[in-house]
Amino acid sequence: MHEAIAKADTLIEAMGWIRRFRGKTTVIKLGGSVLDDKDALMHILLDVIFMETVGMKPVIVHGGGKAINRALAEENIEPKFVQGRRYTDQATLEVVRRVLAGEVNQQLTEQIEHLGGRAMNLSVHTTNVLFGEVLKLESGEDLGRVGKITQVDRDVIEGLLYTDQVPVIPSVCEDGDGGVLNVNADTAAMAVAQALGAEKLVFLSDVNGVRRDKENPDTIIHSLSESESKAMIGNGQIASGMIPKVEACLETLDRGVGKVHIIDGRLRHSLLLEIYTSEGVGTEIYKDLNI
Ligand SMILES: Nc1ncnc2c1ncn2[C@@H]1O[C@H](COP(=O)(O)OP(=O)(O)O)[C@@H](O)[C@H]1O
Ligand SMILES: CC(=O)N[C@@H](CCC(=O)OP(=O)(O)O)C(=O)O
* CATH number of 127's domain: 3.40.1160.10
Instruction: For residue 23, name the pLDDT band (cuts at 50, 70, 90).
Output: very high
| Ligand 2 contact via 184 beta carbon (within 6 Å) | yes
**Would the CB of 241 count as within 6 Å of ligand 2?**
yes
Q: Mean per-residue pLDDT for 106-111?
A: 98
Q: For the chain, how many structural domains are there in total?
A: 1
The closest residue, in CA terms, to atom 10 on ligand 2 is: 63
Nearest ligand atom owner, CA of 236: 1
User: How high is the pLDDT of residue 64?
Assistant: 96
Residue 118 annotated as binding?
Answer: no
Which of the ligands is closest to the CA of residue 85? 2
Q: Which residues line ligand 1 (CB under 6 A)?
A: 31-33, 63, 65, 205-207, 210-211, 214, 237-242
Our answer on whether the CB atom of 182 is closer than 6 Å to any ligand 2 atom is yes
Domain limits for position 61: 22-286
User: How much distance in Å is there from the Cα of 192 to the middle of ligand 2?
Assistant: 16
Confidence (pLDDT) at 30: 97
The residue whose C-alpha atom lies closest to atom 3 belonging to ligand 2 is: 85
Query: Does a structural domain hold residue 45?
Result: yes
7 within a domain of the structure (yes/no): no
In a domain, 37, yes or no: yes
User: pTM of the full predicted structure?
Assistant: 0.94
Strand order in the sheet with 223-225: 119-121, 166-170, 57-62, 25-30, 200-205, 259-264, 283-286, 223-225
Q: Which residues contact 92 (CB under 8 A, 6 or more apart)?
A: 72, 77, 79, 86, 144, 145, 182
Whether 108 maps to a domain, the answer reads: yes
SS3 79: coil
Residue 15 is assigned to a structural domain of this protein: no
pLDDT in tens, 140-198: 899 999 999 999 999 999 999 999 999 999 999 999 899 999 999 999 999 999 999 99
Q: What is the DSSP string of 20-46?
A: HHTT-EEEEEEPHHHHT-HHHHHHHHH
Does 197 show up as a binding residue in the annotation?
no
Q: Which ligand is nearest to the CA of 235?
A: 1
